[in-house]
Structure 1
Amino acid sequence: MNFQQRKQKILQTLDERGSVDVADLVGLLNTSDMTVRRDLGQLAASGLLYRTRGGAMKVSAATDSFRFANKAAVNAGQKDYICQIAARQIQEGDVIFMDCGSTVFRLCAFIRHRRVTVITNSLPVVVELMGSDVSVNLIGGEVDKDRQAVHGLMADEHIARYRANRAFIGVDGISLQNGLSANSEKEASTAVAMARQAEKTYLLCDSSKLETDKYLYFAPLTLFDALITDNEANPAVIDAYRQAGLTVLN
């Protein structure tokens, strides 16, 4: 496969997924790690993609927020694993909440061809799903430039006007002893508001956040119906969560 063929395949994959890892491209293109990194460098220099640590992101998603793009690229393989499980919980015609978490954002790639309605406070989610089969409802309120998200009293009131089949929310920390914790009151408020209006709430959380406590405790473990995490989670921790009565999908 020559460079032009690889270029076409890389850009097509980014268009479908929004982001991709070097390791995934090595298998997809049947070439070396060095060749993939060189190709990504050339495409980034031409402005055709945004280079991230360990991979690349589609320009339309990356230009919304340099900071958010970097966060979304961290533990990308684990996040995609989680989102594949999450996507299997969604049925055609569902109305779903998606918050502004970087893990939740990566769910976009797995639902963009589904006929569902997404209610979200995340600007990157809106950008990613524009032009897809998904109907998008953007929550109104104050825009947080760093998080590329809408928060505040008006946002919570907007959420309260809708009912959803499922809510997918992220979290900065979770522990059996203290429940759910966050680095921001804004994000905590949005998560609680979405969970209240959903028939079923899923917590999307990579294994690095299990048994960690952050700045603000905001809800007990009963806020969500199921925890979706990756297969690198400590089996002893997963067993402890299940023994405590939690539904864990990994």
Structure 2
Amino acid sequence: MLASQRQDRILADVRARGAVRVADLVVELDVSDMTIRRDIAELARLGVVRRVHGGAVDAHHTAHELDFAVKRTLAATQKLAIARAALAWISPGSSIALSAGSTAHLLAELIAADPALRPLTVVTNSLPVADTLHLASRRPGSALDVVLTGGVRTPSDALVGPIADAALGQLRVDRTFLGVHGLGPDGLTTPNLLEAQTDRALLRCASDVVVLADHSKWGVVGLARIAALDAVDLLISDEGLATEACAAAASAVGQLLLAPATASPQTPPPQSPTTERGAS
């Protein structure tokens, strides 16, 4: 198969599924890992796909929403580092909200495995998050309460719409941990109109807002805007975030924390390793 034929096949897969993995394409096209990466690099140069860790996503479809199973495979190492860093911002005896998304689900898995965080109340509109935490809550003496909002299910396994919004409107939590489809100078975005509204309800019910977004999300623009960057108290990303993006984010959000790949949970010190709003 010629390089142009492979690239056409890869592009067709991206447009059909929203994203592709290098490992899957190696098997599907029977070529080396480096060959696939070169093909993706060429498609990215042409502006038709966007490279992410482990694969590629569609560069143009702002209304396309990836399945939860696909999201879990993209930038997996960075997402786990972000989840580990986020764990330090959860205190026993508090109430938190977790949105839908693969990074939020990784955080839920860490919460489920850490009895030191009990007692804890978690509000969520994510079915995978609720399932993970429900299993942990059934352990004797777990002191873990899970509140699932209800609503209409999206491809990312989020529950959204008027029912979810009404439930969140009656609740108040200490901190919301929000995963997003994309972010940039124009704010936080998602491909799903109803999810944007429910995400705004998640922001309104919290005293503090923490956004979990790996570096590949910067510059991605979804169809619906959730909020401006200045609505974010803490943005946790990873060390792959470009210098220009770091500067733009640091000037808008309350704090910026870049989680290293080897991040492990630790209590934030009085002067935590973050960049303050407005810093250069």
Global fold match (TM > 0.5): yes
Q: 1:69 Cα deviation (Å)?
A: 2.1
Match of 1:76 in 2: 76
Match of 2:145 in 1: 135
- The alignment partner of 1:213 has SS state of coil
Match of 2:250 in 1: 242
Instruction: Say what the alpha-carbon RMSD is for the aligned residues.
Output: 1.8
Match of 1:99 in 2: 99
Query: How does the TM-score come out when normalised to structure 1?
Result: 0.69
Match of 1:123 in 2: 127
| C-alpha distance in structure 1 between counterparts of 2:164 and 2:221, whole Å | 26
Contact 2:83–2:107 under 8 Å retained in 1? yes
The structure 2 residue matched to 1:172, chosen from 159, 162, 181, is 181
Contact 1:72–1:105 under 8 Å retained in 2? no
Contact 2:230–2:252 under 8 Å retained in 1? no
Match of 2:62 in 1: none
Consecutive unaligned residues in structure 2, runs of 5 or more: 1-53, 55-65, 137-141, 259-280
Query: Matches of residues 3-18 of structure 1 in structure 2 within 5 Å?
Result: none
| C-alpha distance in structure 2 between counterparts of 1:137 and 1:245, whole Å | 28
Q: 1:103 Cα deviation (Å)?
A: 1.4
The structure 2 residue matched to 1:157, chosen from 159, 166, 172, is 166
Contact 2:178–2:210 under 8 Å retained in 1? yes
Contact 2:182–2:220 under 8 Å retained in 1? yes
Percentage identity across paired residues of the two chains:
34
What are the Cα deviations for residues 67-96 of structure 1, in whole angstroms up to 9, with x where unaligned?
Answer: 422312221111011111111011011111
Match of 2:216 in 1: 208
Q: 1:232 Cα deviation (Å)?
A: 1.4
Match of 2:109 in 1: 109
| C-alpha distance in structure 2 between counterparts of 1:244 and 1:129, whole Å | 33
- The alignment partner of 2:238 has SS state of coil
Contact 1:119–1:137 under 8 Å retained in 2? yes
The reply on whether 1:232 has 2:214 as its aligned counterpart is: no
Report the more deviating stretch, 213-222 or 165-174: 213-222
Query: How does the TM-score come out when normalised to structure 2?
Result: 0.62
Q: Which amino acid aligns with 1:235?
A: T
What are the Cα deviations for residues 180-235 of structure 1, in whole angstroms up to 9, with x where unaligned?
Answer: 22111122111110110101000110101113322222321122211110111113
Consecutive unaligned residues in structure 1, runs of 5 or more: 1-53, 55-65
Q: Between Structure 1 and Structure 2, how many residues are aligned?
A: 184
